[in-house]
Amino acid sequence: MIDVSLPSSRPAAAALVPLRVRYAAAVPPALLAAPGTLAVLGFGAVAAESEDPRWLRLPLMPLMPLDAAAVAEVWQIDAAVEHGRAGTVRYAAGGGWLFGAIELDEAAHGGLERAAVAAYRALAAFSAARAECHVLRIWNYFGAINRGSGDAERYKRFCAGRALGMGTGQVFADGYPAATAIGVPGAPDRLQLYWLAATAAGTRVENPRQLSAWRYPRAYGPTPPSFARGMRLPGGTGLAISGTAAIVGHASQAAGDLDAQLTETFANLDVLLTAAGVDGGFDARSPLKVYLRDPAQAGHVADFLAARLPPAVPRLLLAGDVCRAELAVEIDGWRFPQAMDGAL
* Three-class SS state of 108: helix
Domain-located, residue 32: yes
Domain-located, residue 144: yes
What is d(CA 284, CA 194) in angstroms, rounded to the nearest whole number?
A: 24
pLDDT at 266: 98
Domain-located, residue 2: no
Q: How confident is the model at residue 7 (pLDDT cuts 50, 70, 90)?
A: very low
Q: What is the mean pLDDT of residues 298-309?
A: 96
The answer on pLDDT for 219 being more than 80 is: yes
Q: What is the mean pLDDT of residues 39-65?
A: 85
Domain-located, residue 96: yes
Domain-located, residue 330: yes
Range with the lowest mean pLDDT among 59-68, 140-149, 188-197, 296-305? 59-68
Rg for the chain, CA atoms, rounded: 19
Per the CB < 8 A criterion, the answer to whether 85 and 126 are in contact is: no
Domain-located, residue 49: yes
Please tell me the total count of domains within the chain: 1
- Domain range for 258 is 19-340
Q: How confident is the model at residue 2 (pLDDT cuts 50, 70, 90)?
A: very low
Domain CATH code at residue 317: 3.30.1330.40
Q: Which residues does 84 contact at the CB level (< 8 Å), separation at least 6?
A: 53, 90, 91
User: What percent of the chain has pLDDT above 70?
Assistant: 91
Beta strand segments in 26-167, E:
37-44, 55-58, 62-64, 70-77, 82-86, 89-94, 97-105, 134-143
154-166 and 112-128 helices cross at what angle (nearest 10)? 30
- Beta-sheet pairing, 19-25 with 247-248: unpaired
Domain-located, residue 9: no
pLDDT at 130: 97
pLDDT at 308: 97
**pLDDT tens track for 83-136:** 999 999 999 999 999 999 999 999 999 999 999 999 999 999 999 999 999 999
pLDDT at 5: 39
Domain-located, residue 4: no
pLDDT at 269: 98
